[in-house]
Amino acid sequence: MARWESGTQERLQRAALDLFAEHGYDGVTVAQIAAHAGLTERTFFRWFADKREVLFRGQEEFEQAFLTGMTAAPDGDAMSLAMAGLAGGAAPFTAERHPWARARQRAIDAHPALRERELLKLSALATALTGALTDRGVGPVPAALAAESAVVVFRTAFTAWIAGDGARPFAEVQAEVLAELHALLAAARA
């Protein structure tokens, strides 16, 4: 209970996103972000490992949602299991969070350093999914393929969802993208 002003990380994140939107990632120093949140540079680095990380708070919960979505699924083939995780992962992306997600993604897309970090987070997600699949007895190569495919579906759906106005539920977009992937591979088999 907050001996000090609570929500330090969130304040820093908001300050960073605001400043990035206005001056660009390179045009903002960590000291400025911290000052904007009423803190010092040193404190920023106590809460975030580096300047990029400030836009990627709460990654563990997101990853966990994916994993629980998968472990909740009944046994099945590797790809179905991996795709079952998508349902859990879709939870945080509600219509009301759409504007925030959009602003954040805009900032990320604007700078390679932030895109790099996003890719690393998605890669970590794929690795976690792969591990969960091998724990269920799937071989390493099929597990990796299924996990990476699930992440591709997620990312593609997320891009489409962000491009829209948020009215369409994320889960719906994701189901559509998944169907499209199935259709594509079915066509290639012909």
The CA–CA distances, whole Å, from 138 to 67, 73, 76, 78, 190 equal 15, 15, 10, 7, 27
Which of 14, 21, 47, 111 contacts DNA by CB under 7 A? 47
Q: Does 10 bind DNA (CB under 7 A)?
A: no
Of 161, 54, 169, 164, the C-alpha closest to 118 is 54
CB count within 10 Å of CB 16 equals: 26
Which of 89, 144, 162, 170 contacts a copy of itself by CB under 8 A? 144
Rounded Cα gap, residues 128 and 144, in angstroms: 10
Return the one option of DNA, a copy of itself, none that residue 179 interacts with (CB less than 5 to 8 A, by type). none
Three-class SS state of 63: helix
Q: Which residues bind DNA (CB under 7 A)?
A: 1, 3-5, 8, 28-31, 34, 38-43, 45-47, 49-52
Site of interaction with a copy of itself (CB under 8 A): 77-80, 83, 112, 115-117, 119-120, 123, 141-142, 144-146, 148-149, 152-153, 155-156, 159-160, 177, 180-182, 184-190
